[in-house]
Amino acid sequence: MPEEDLVDIKFRLYDGSDIGPFRYSSAATVDVLKQRIVSDWPKGKTVIPKAANELKLISSGKILENNKTVGQCKVPLGDIGGGVLIMHVVVQPSLAKTKAEKKIDDSPRKVICSCSIL
């Protein structure tokens, strides 16, 4: 595979720590990246994704779609050789789980507030 078809990507987590960098083909999809993040998620984090669909990847201020390739997502930085592309990772637990937890905790005396820190 030609060297220009490979992209080095580092994933920045909610707490400022990183996963990677890893080298991917320009043809790799965002879904493949998300699966790698789930499998390599650091132990001991307070927020842990259970599946790739709980992750959002952000690059250059845009949420990346699962069916897009790395080549389609990267900003035209062709003039900057050897750079590492940083993608931000946001974990959003599935809605079904959130609704189930809310029902269990629902009572007239409790107030439940969900907050996300990005």
Span 54-74, pLDDT tens digits: 999 998 888 999 999 988 876
More confident residue, 83 or 47: 47
CA distances in angstroms from 31 to 35, 68, 95, 106, listed in the order given: 6, 8, 19, 35
Nearest 5°: CA angle at 38, between 41 and 51?
A: 135
Interval 101-106 mean pLDDT: 51
Inter-residue contact 88 to 59 (CB < 8 Å): yes
Query: CA 113, CA 10: separation in Å to the nearest integer?
Result: 32
More confident residue, 79 or 72: 72
Q: What is the pTM of this model?
A: 0.71
Tokens of 62: 């845009």
Instruction: Give the pLDDT band of residue 11 (cuts 50, 70, 90).
Output: very high
